[in-house]
A and B are shown apart, each in its own frame.
Chain A
């Protein structure tokens, strides 16, 4: 009978797996995408994490033990993500590093939470990537998308004298909305700054001519356009705005960092992006430039965007917390992480509290693109923290 064969195969398959951790090792598990579209986001940040792990191991390890890395592929799939989380936990992971995006990382993070282990999102920028969406043992090492929108608007107001703002939202992802949420929160705090108009589009819209003609119809060109979007649609939107002769400064989130797309919009100018560290070789902190060189040596390419950096930060802050706690026990490590207040890292300070395991304020470098050349021109930290209640309610 055919079904007997099926059972045979299944049972044979069932009897595989398992690799217990040795006592003189600390296991860090990566439940991240090794295939599928998330791989493009996860891989660079994971490489940066591996660099930090290698540095620690070369310097004698953590608590005198070497860090051992285990991997499981989420295949950019939520159900697979949960399995990948379990797979690394079964191999003894004390820290579970999960996919960059909240939607794809949370299934594995929830498994870590249920097993009482610490989890870190590689670079998720939603408030849910942490206590609010996973539980008290979950963290993200990046900075909230809302901080990017708030940073750009406050900086432009103070340093570029921007008074009239136009808000253009690409409603495709939660990340995009997050940038505009931060902008919405900051704008009323800027005396006599005015929202002169707002509009939405979708990332895959071939044309945003209608939105552009509404900007053109304004009596005066706005000082700044807050553009809440990401790749790949961002390129086409920016190109169309400039082609229509609108020369207002364009403010963005970190999602458009990188020079790989700039030749699609020749001679782009008056274009501003917040970054945690500069990939252009001009970071004010020479150690960041050293890291970039190390990254190139390790992977063979330069970092493509600032999203490699959070991977380095997460291993950095977690290992510091482990050193201070003297153990990898999750509760003790979380307690140490929550004591971190403006903890310096290569890519800006990090603060965690028992209310939020993410950055609702953070130092950003401002990169200006002039005639197609990106360059760090300033740095900015928003004047106050974005309240957790506001972030959660969006």
Chain B
């Protein structure tokens, strides 16, 4: 019999609920949704990965990061470099090393490589940035984003500069999207119950007490930074296959702020919050977009003017944060304490 008091046993219901919940969404969409709607949901899964990646760092450390979208760049462009057919990239990306120009690998190999590349980058820069704390660390991550954006926008022979890089095989399906989200949730969960995750959350809640107990803040933040970079790098790889073109303008401020908004609306300090934030915000955006298009009510068409969607999303987010400052989940995890996890049932 498993030891029922272990952390794993008490909390494993959360990732299971989330992953199964997303599976239900995926199945219903695949069964009943139109093709554009399938793409919306696939994109939502990639956003789940991205926001879960943000959560691993922001949620556990309490340090807001504006720089994690740089790992999207790293993942997406690495995927582009390794999956575009050689005859295309040898003309457009001539600055790449020869062996890269000759390589054309499959998605299943390239996606983990892209994620590892992002993690490796985080390993190098994290050592420096993680020494900072509070707002200085946030601004430093923002600087990182600016730096990566500038390199990718201007290194023409390697990244194609401002223009789009084309030729990435469009293999994304809703199921690969779901799988990516499930992997992201699993990694985030395992990290958060790990020794490092617990230690990092201790520093978030009581920094001085945690330090007095012998926790090395810099080291724990550094680990979270690397894990989150891995997840977001993987999201970048999937995003590249999703759009099949990558351009530097896709991964910048808009993406950063929408990801942070989703995380804050859902509940910044909980994994459930990260996932719920994405599902709710993308659901709302989709409903509003349909209203902009107009919905036929038989007696007439109900439509709101173009552009209202962006305003409405802003207002709704303000509303949510006014009444639920800790997010829709109030920073709680969805759990299940019924069978087989023992004791009576209780939702959050």
Whether B163 lies near A174 (C-beta < 8 A) is yes
Chain A residues with CB below 8 A from B329, complex form: 2
| Given A10-B25, A73-B306, A83 contacting B36 (CB threshold 8 A) | yes
Interface on chain B toward A: helix, strand, loop, or mixed SS? Answer: helix
Does any Cβ of A come within 8 Å of B244's Cβ?
yes
Whether A86 lies near B290 (C-beta < 8 A) is no
| Given A73-B306, A103-B164, A82 contacting B25 (CB threshold 8 A) | no
Chain B residues with CB below 8 A from A110, complex form: 170, 244-245
Whether B245 lies near A10 (C-beta < 8 A) is no
Chain B residues with CB below 8 A from A103, complex form: 163-164, 245, 247, 249
Bound complex: CA A13 to CA B37 (Å): 9
| Given A103-B245, A128-B166, A1 contacting B347 (CB threshold 8 A) | yes
Does any Cβ of B come within 8 Å of A90's Cβ?
yes
Interface on chain A toward B: helix, strand, loop, or mixed SS? Answer: helix
Whether A7 lies near B166 (C-beta < 8 A) is no
Give the tally of cross-chain contacts (CB within 8 A): 112
Whether A83 lies near B40 (C-beta < 8 A) is yes
Whether B243 lies near A82 (C-beta < 8 A) is yes
| Given A10-B279, A82-B243, A106-B166, A90 contacting B33 (CB threshold 8 A) | no
Does any Cβ of A come within 8 Å of B29's Cβ?
yes
Bound complex: CA A170 to CA B116 (Å): 36
Whether B290 lies near A106 (C-beta < 8 A) is no
With both chains docked as a complex, state the minimum distance between the C-beta of A236 and any C-beta of chain B, in angstroms: 20
With both chains docked as a complex, state the minimum distance between the C-beta of B38 and any C-beta of chain A, in angstroms: 8
Bound complex: CA A9 to CA B35 (Å): 18
Mark contacts of A7-47 with chain B using CB atoms, 8 A cut-off: 1 yes-contact digit, 0 otherwise: 10111011111100000000000000011000000000000
Whether A1 lies near B92 (C-beta < 8 A) is no
| Given A10-B25, A82-B39, A103-B247, A392 contacting B92 (CB threshold 8 A) | yes
Chain A residues with CB below 8 A from B189, complex form: none
| Given A6-B276, A17-B37, A174-B163, A107 contacting B243 (CB threshold 8 A) | yes
Bound complex: CA A107 to CA B243 (Å): 6
Bound complex: CA A173 to CA B161 (Å): 9
Does any Cβ of B come within 8 Å of A126's Cβ?
yes
Mark contacts of B268-308 with chain A using CB atoms, 8 A cut-off: 1 yes-contact digit, 0 otherwise: 00000000100110010011011011010000000000110
Bound complex: CA A84 to CA B289 (Å): 12
Mark contacts of A78-121 with chain B using CB atoms, 8 A cut-off: 1 yes-contact digit, 0 otherwise: 11001110110110000000000011001100100010000000
| Given A7-B21, A16-B290, A110-B245, A90 contacting B28 (CB threshold 8 A) | no
Bound complex: CA A174 to CA B293 (Å): 32
Chain B residues with CB below 8 A from A18, complex form: 34
Chain B residues with CB below 8 A from A372, complex form: none
With both chains docked as a complex, state the minimum distance between the C-beta of B109 and any C-beta of chain A, in angstroms: 23
- The size of the chain A interface, using a CB distance under 8 A, is 43
| Given A14-B33, A128-B166, A6 contacting B283 (CB threshold 8 A) | yes
Minimal Cβ-Cβ distance residue in A for B245: A106
Whether A9 lies near B334 (C-beta < 8 A) is no
With both chains docked as a complex, state the minimum distance between the C-beta of A217 and any C-beta of chain B, in angstroms: 27
With both chains docked as a complex, state the minimum distance between the C-beta of B201 and any C-beta of chain A, in angstroms: 23
Bound complex: CA A216 to CA B290 (Å): 56
Does any Cβ of A come within 8 Å of B105's Cβ?
no
Whether B39 lies near A83 (C-beta < 8 A) is yes
Minimal Cβ-Cβ distance residue in A for B28: A11
Partner of A35, one of B24, B25, B243, B306: B306
Whether A11 lies near B32 (C-beta < 8 A) is yes
Chain B residues with CB below 8 A from A17, complex form: 34, 36-37
Whether A174 lies near B162 (C-beta < 8 A) is yes
Whether A78 lies near B306 (C-beta < 8 A) is no
| Given A2-B328, A13-B290, A172 contacting B32 (CB threshold 8 A) | no
List 15 additional A-B contacts (Cβ < 8 Å) besides A6-B279, A16-B295, A35-B307.
A3-B276, A3-B279, A7-B21, A7-B24, A9-B283, A13-B286, A15-B32, A73-B306, A79-B43, A82-B243, A83-B40, A86-B35, A126-B163, A174-B161, A174-B163
The chain B residues found within 8 Å of chain A, CB to CB, are: 17, 21, 24-25, 28-29, 32-37, 39-40, 43, 91-92, 94, 161-164, 166, 170, 242-245, 247, 249-250, 276, 279-280, 283, 286-287, 289-290, 292-293, 295, 306-307, 328-329, 334, 347
20 contacts between A and B (CB under 8 A): A1-B334, A2-B276, A3-B21, A10-B25, A10-B279, A13-B283, A14-B32, A14-B37, A17-B36, A72-B36, A73-B293, A79-B39, A82-B39, A83-B36, A89-B35, A102-B164, A106-B164, A107-B245, A392-B91, A392-B92
